[in-house]
Amino acid sequence: MQKFMIHIKTEQEIEKMKEGGKILAEILKKLSDAVKPGITTSELDKLARELISSCGAEPSCLGYNGYPAALCTSVNDEIAHAIPSDRILKEGDLLKLDIGVLHKGFHTDSATTILVGGKEDKEKIKLLNVTKEALNIGISKSKAGNTLGDIGSAIQKYVEDNGFNVVRNLVGHGIGRKFHEPPQVSNYGKAGEGEELKAGWVIAIEPMVVTGDWRIKDGKDGFGFITKDGGLSAHFEHTVAIIDNGPVVLTK
């Protein structure tokens, strides 16, 4: 018996997810443009809700496992899933925006990291660039015939070669009619190991990279995760379809 069922999406289903992904990319771009010192994370969530509803889509996160917002706004040592609040963003904060939308019955999921105020900070900019490139490397390995371990090991190697670490306890995932579907997409592993990727899979790849140790702990808001050692964290995510010709990034 199979341990889990991985849905193979049809071309038409992937087309719907591409529409949703394009909507999501535009929303995430507008949210990123709104980030500036002085704005609160709940103001960003309010904007996210307005943008999603004006596109005729629905927020994937709101109500998901009881999550109370449309957007995740994790700052500095917060890795993911932090709830928007009256926290005022300041110059130099490393802000992760993570968001999903439901469009025509299918979810898409994407995340980005922003250095608030854009002030030069070599370590933070390096962390941001390494994480973004780690995602690109993971996407490039997302080909039918490769394995999940090929994605994870390539991401891990690139990150560790650059002096950072990947978070182990939070993973990417299959996505479609459900926000989280099998398989789990780890950001570490061994090449050649794990399930073989098939044409028709749609997965969210989302490396979370930290400056220090990869161990995490729960945040105080009941949903967020933070680094145990107080190190900084960055996160980029795309929803990617695996088709015969290779990976297609849906959230762009």
Site for ligand MF3, rule CB under 6 A: 61, 64, 67, 72, 81, 98, 100, 109, 111, 173, 204, 206, 237
What is the Cα–Cα distance from 88 to 186, expressed in whole angstroms? 32
What is the Cα–Cα distance from 70 to 99, expressed in whole angstroms? 7
- Per CB under 5 A, which region of 22-30, 39-47, 108-116, 144-152 contacts Co ion? 108-116
Q: DSSP for 176-245? A: SSSSSEEEEE-SS--TT-SPBP-TT-EEEE--EEESS---EEE-TTSS-EEETT---EEE-BEEEEEETT
What is the Cα–Cα distance from 186 to 85, expressed in whole angstroms? 29
- Per CB under 5 A, which region of 75-83, 153-161, 201-209, 239-247 contacts Co ion? 201-209
Residue choice 45, 109, 150, 181 for contact with Co ion (CB under 5 A): 109
C-beta of 206: minimal distance to ligand MF3 in Å? 6
User: Is 181 a residue that touches Co ion (CB under 5 A)?
Assistant: no
One-letter amino acid for residue 45 of the chain = D
User: Is 204 a residue that touches Co ion (CB under 5 A)?
Assistant: yes
Residue whose CB is less far from ligand MF3, 93 or 206 = 206
C-beta of 91: minimal distance to ligand MF3 in Å? 26
C-beta of 82: minimal distance to ligand MF3 in Å? 9
What is the Cα–Cα distance from 147 to 141, expressed in whole angstroms? 8
Binders in 21-40 for Co ion, by CB under 5 A? none
